[in-house]
Amino acid sequence: MSEFTEKLKAAIKGRVVVYIDAANLERSIKDMFVRPDDVPDILKHKLATELAWTTNYKKLSNFFKSISNCSGIRFYTAEFA
């Protein structure tokens, strides 16, 4: 495990529930690699859709379950009427 993971594991006490603001997380990810100058030369031949970041929620869940007594991951997002 990384040093960060070890520190996080040591800081967690008791049960954990993770709440994710899914809309903001997904929007933040979409903003990565927005400038062509930021793309490394080795990846310039790829399409923008191939370079897009995504969130692997299963891995995120497994990570928290591996370092804590994670009793759930919940998602919330804005609802517009």
**CA torsion angle 22 4 61 64 (round to 10):** -120
The reported pTM is 0.63
pLDDT, one tens digit for every residue, the chain (81 residues) = 689 999 999 999 999 999 988 778 777 776 665 567 777 888 888 877 777 777 788 998 999 999 999 999 998 877 766
Helix (H) or strand (E) holding 2: none
Task: Tell me the Ramachandran region of residue 33: left when phi exceeds 0, alpha when psi lies from -120 to 50, beta otherwise.
Answer: left
